[in-house]
Amino acid sequence: MSRVKVLKLDTGGRRRGGNYDRGRALVAGGAGFLGSHLCERLLSDGHEVIALDNFHTGKGYNLAGIARDGSFTCIRHDIIDALPTDLAVDEIYNLACPASPPHYQADPIHTFKTSVLGSINLLELARRHNAKIFQASTSEVYGDPLVHPQPEGYFGNVNTHGPRSCYDEGKRSAETLFFDYSRTYGIDVRVARIFNTYGPRMQPDDGRVVSNFIVQALRGDDITVYGSGSQTRSFCFVDDLIEGFVRLMNAAVPPQHPVNLGNPVEFTIMELAESVIDYTNSRSRIVHRPLPVDDPRQRKPDISFARQHLGWEPKVALSEGLAHPTSYFDALLGGRRFVAPRAVQASSAREATA
């Protein structure tokens, strides 16, 4: 696998030659799960792309497929540190923050700084160069919601001092900063609230439910379900989500509020576990563990605004999308031959009619 050339930040202000139809885009967190997919999409759309990452959770191999692209540059940098004034860009996507509980709880203060100080640094960069800027917020801002499904106008039910608060409150604070910069300085901001997303390049140890279940099933380990498994989630395939990012950034009029992006088809955690076991032909057993602190009971987006104003909704059903991360993890775990799946049972009829 080809290696990614990582540059020091002081080279980032250099514009390379070439004609780019869509301008120069900076992707903070560009070596991460979502960031690497976004970099690929922006390159295919004709952008010159700079990936900025501190590589705490991002991986260089996620960018191997575009490492030799002449329109792509990767820079090692932490966005909580100052950015150079000559880093001229037309668009900024801020995806730079650990997004899984084990990762963001490992250094909660740094996580919060990334959301707050990092956002300020990127917003100042956008202000300096009159660039559009996108913030990857999260459905975690809704906390353990008392309203279901969750519309953008719901203010949430969030613990401000629990173990998840560094992420939940950090993202809420970042939203505040983005819209205050918009009102104060006239910056063009776009804020997306991302619901559970899955696909290739998730990390096998990231603690998210889809990656946990697939890795456990492929290894033949017990499938760990926290609580009864009756809690619900909605799972969006990564390609669908990236399409939502691009449509939101390209919208002629910037929405004056965050926009939900996620799949509104809802599953219980037990349904997901049974689907993964069936799909992988695994002999794994389902075991139950205590529910983590502040784990939400329900999570489902109201995407009415995205449907009406962006013409966006997910296209890939879970029964179809599971193939991609399963094949990815099968290769990553040592190349054990992936067995062709049986029919996926979990609510496939519901998916088709949703």
Which domains, from first to last, does the chain contain? 6-195+238-261 (3.40.50.720), 209-233+264-300+316-353 (3.90.25.10)
343 compared with 9, residue with greater pLDDT: 9
Candidate list 142, 167, 181, 328, residue with the active-site label: 167
pLDDT, position 205: 87
pLDDT digits over 95-147, tens only? 999 988 889 999 999 999 999 999 999 999 999 999 999 999 999 999 999 99
**Could you confirm whether 104 is annotated as catalytic?**
no
For residue 247, count other CB atoms closer than 10 A to its CB.
17
Q: How far is CA 19 from CA 15, 23, 45, 120, in A?
A: 11, 9, 13, 30
Tell me which amino acid residue 124 is: E
* 302, pLDDT greater than 70: yes
Coil vs helix vs strand at 60: helix
CA 307, CA 159: separation in Å to the nearest integer?
30
* 262, pLDDT greater than 90: yes
Strands 266-268 and 197-198: unpaired
* 19, pLDDT greater than 50: no
pLDDT, position 145: 93
pLDDT, position 14: 38
pLDDT, position 287: 97
* 3, pLDDT greater than 60: no
Is the sign of the CA dihedral 259, 126, 95, 295 positive or negative? Answer: negative
pLDDT digits over 175-221, tens only? 999 999 999 999 999 999 999 999 999 999 888 999 999 999 999 99
Mean per-residue pLDDT, 315-341? 81
pTM above 0.85, yes or no: yes
CA 186, CA 344: separation in Å to the nearest integer?
49
**Which spans in the chain are helix H?**
33-44, 101-106, 108-129, 165-185, 209-219, 238-250, 269-280, 304-305, 318-321, 323-332, 348-353
pLDDT, position 12: 39
CA 285, CA 338: separation in Å to the nearest integer?
19
CA 175, CA 194: separation in Å to the nearest integer?
13
* 335, pLDDT greater than 70: no
Q: For residue 5, what pLDDT band results from cuts at 50, 70 and 90?
A: low
Six-digit token string for 229: 């498994």
